[in-house]
Amino acid sequence: MVTNYWNKKAETMSREGMRALQGNRLASVVRHTYNNVPAYRKKMENLGLEPGDIRCIEDISKLPFVDKYDLADNYPYGLFAVPMSEIVEIHASSGTTGKQKVLGYTRHDLEIWGEVMARTLAAGGTTSSDIFHCSYGYGLFTGGLGAHYGSQTIGCTTVPVGTGNTNRQIQIIRDFGCTAICCTPSYMLYIAETLEQMKVDPSEVKLRRAFLGAEPWTIEMRDDIERRLPLRTYDIYGLTEMIGPGVAFECDARCGLHVNEDHFYPEIVDPDTLKPVEDGIYGELVFSTLTKEGMPLLRYRTRDIASITHETCECGRTLARITKPKGRTDDMLIIRGVNVFPSQVESVLLGVTEASPYYFIIVDRVGARDTFEIQVELTEGFPIDEVRAVEKLQKRIGAAIESALGIGATIRLLPPHSLPRVEGKARHVEDRRNLK
Ligand code: DLL
């Protein structure tokens, strides 16, 4: 197994050492935020808290939670903790509040970003000999520049392609001899599909490792990508509010994502009671930045659902591991009272040979009853004009969905290549019920 630590000291620190470091860093970031962000100071004062009350990492439970509404209320710069003259870069992502979530980075924050992304890429075996094809969007989205800084920190030959024009991307992958790539998993799949259509000989593609994230994806999706392309995939997780990509990464053991917990302190809480849950139990991920200067956020509610373990990994890293985030509380559909994550549908469909990995869910309400339709794009060669074959397959998929989700769905089969392909994050659901 490839271990390839980028920062062995941080990645294999003893648990006691890590907790002491986290405690010191927490005390200092709380002081910095309290002194420089009036809105946060007010939140602490409302609870009768002062920076001196936070002395060790366990004290984090005294602090108030922060969420997307705090960002919206303080849009755009209200949570910045340094003067604008020290902010060297801004990123933003759109959210459900209607206001962009705006983040400011100091030069030091960008160095941290390079460091945590270097750990991420190195864990998948990336070295300065790699030619790194960066196919996340550049711009306000954090994917492109975050991966770029990691690749530059390692010293790879960085190819800053960004999104769009898949044929050109493929030409670059072939002609430039790119050995590593980063993009969303759905775009990786699209690249694989386009390579197949163009009848490119796989030996012409030198890609050996792919860093995929920014959206939930399943183990089945991983298998599908690795069947089509001779490369190994690594899941990478992050969110703009913390820094962007670089919050958590898979190592070669691929059993959970290591959290860069010397920079981002993870907690898992019950989303209803906000009380911490034990290791191994699913709940909402809450993160605190421990070293950010520009816009520190403490106990930020991500809405992502995962569980955590603090056991040492077989790669030797002691950094806590979260499970693949299975979705967001705000993406979870409640259909006829049953909780459904789009990733569960994806898992089922990827087990059906005749189904491609492209699907779309439409939920509606007719009278008092929820309707649940899954549009499934077929692979080439299925006799879509034969009524009996179609009915048989619909029945088979319907039964598999019902057994996995505990709820029936209407299955609509679509011809190959009929659902739209995306370069960024895939959209899998349309909820027409207007329940919010
Ligand atoms: O998506 C940052 C990123 C860029 C991560 C590139 C990885 C690679 P946002 O646009 O703010 O930032 O979206 C963050 O995307 O809260 C999750 O819901 C989801 N997400 C990100 N990575 C994963 C992943 C970037 N590996 C939101 N698995 C997060 C599941 C993910 N969900």
DSSP string, 158-219: EE---S--HHHHHHHHHHTT--EEEE-HHHHHHHHHHHHHTT--GGG----EEEEESS---H
**DSSP class of residue 66?**
B
What is residue 248's three-state secondary structure? strand
Q: How confident is the prediction for the chain on average, in pLDDT?
A: 95
Shortest-distance Cα residue to atom 31 of ligand 1 = 215
Return the structure tokens found at 401. Answer: 């969905």
Q: If you search the block for the tokens 């106990």, which residue do you land on?
A: 299
Ligand 1 pocket test, pick from 134, 304, 429 with the greatest ligand atom count within 8 Å of Cβ, gives 304
Rounded to the nearest 5 percent, the helix, strand and coil shares of the chain are 35, 25, 40
Note the pLDDT tens digit of each residue in 218-276: 999 999 999 999 999 999 999 999 999 999 999 999 999 999 999 999 999 999 999 99
Structure tokens at 181: 């790539």
Taking each continuous run of H as one helix and of E as one strand, the counts in the chain are 11, 21
Q: Which two tokens stand for residue 116?
A: 């945590």
Task: Kindly give the distance from the C-alpha atom of residue 239 to the centroid of ligand 1, in angstroms, as a whole number.
Answer: 5
Q: How far is the CA of 216 from the centre of ligand 1 (A)?
A: 8
Give the distance (Å) from ligand 1 centre to CA of residue 368.
Answer: 35
Nearest CA to ligand 1 atom 27: 239
Judge contact between 122 and 180, C-beta under 8 A: no
pTM of the model: 0.91
User: What is the rounded distance in angstroms from the CA atom of residue 79 to the CA atom of residue 295?
Assistant: 6
For residue 145, the model assigns a pLDDT of 98
Q: Which of 101, 142, 181 to mutate to test the pocket of ligand 1 (most atoms within 8 A of CB)?
A: 142
Ligand 1 cavity residues, CB under 6 Å: 93, 136, 142-143, 213-216, 235-240, 244-245, 302, 304, 325, 328
Give 102-161 pLDDT, tens digit per residue. Answer: 999 999 999 999 999 999 999 999 999 999 999 999 999 999 999 999 999 999 999 999
Query: Which of 396, 383, 407 has the alpha carbon at shortest distance from 349?
Result: 396
Distance 75 CA to ligand 1 centre (A): 21
Cα separation, 228 vs 224, in Å, equals 6
For residue 167, give the amino acid letter. Answer: N
